[in-house]
Amino acid sequence: MKLPEKLEPYRGVLLFAVILMLSNFFWKYTVLGDESNSIDSMVTFWGLDISAPFIWMAHHVAHVSEAILHFFGSKVVLDTNNVLRHPNGNSVVIIWACTGLKQAYIFFCIIAFYRGPWLKKLWYIPLGLGVVYLFNIFRITMIAASVENHPDWFDFLHFYFFKYLFYGIIFIMWVFWEEKIVGKTISTNSSISGG
Length of the chain: 195
Q: What is the pLDDT, as a whole number, of residue 191?
A: 43
pLDDT, tens digit only, all 195 positions of the chain: 566 777 777 888 999 999 999 999 999 999 998 777 666 678 999 989 999 999 999 999 999 999 999 999 999 999 988 999 999 999 999 999 999 999 999 999 999 999 999 999 999 999 999 999 999 999 999 999 999 999 999 999 999 999 999 999 999 999 999 999 987 665 555 444 444
> ∠ CA(59), CA(63), CA(68), 5° rounding?
150
Q: What is the pLDDT, as a whole number, of residue 38?
A: 65
Q: What is the pLDDT, as a whole number, of residue 190?
A: 46
- Using a 10 angstrom Cβ sphere, with 0-12 exposed, 13-18 middle and 19 or more buried, the burial of residue 38 is middle
- Using a 10 angstrom Cβ sphere, with 0-12 exposed, 13-18 middle and 19 or more buried, the burial of residue 144 is buried
Q: What is the pTM of this model?
A: 0.88
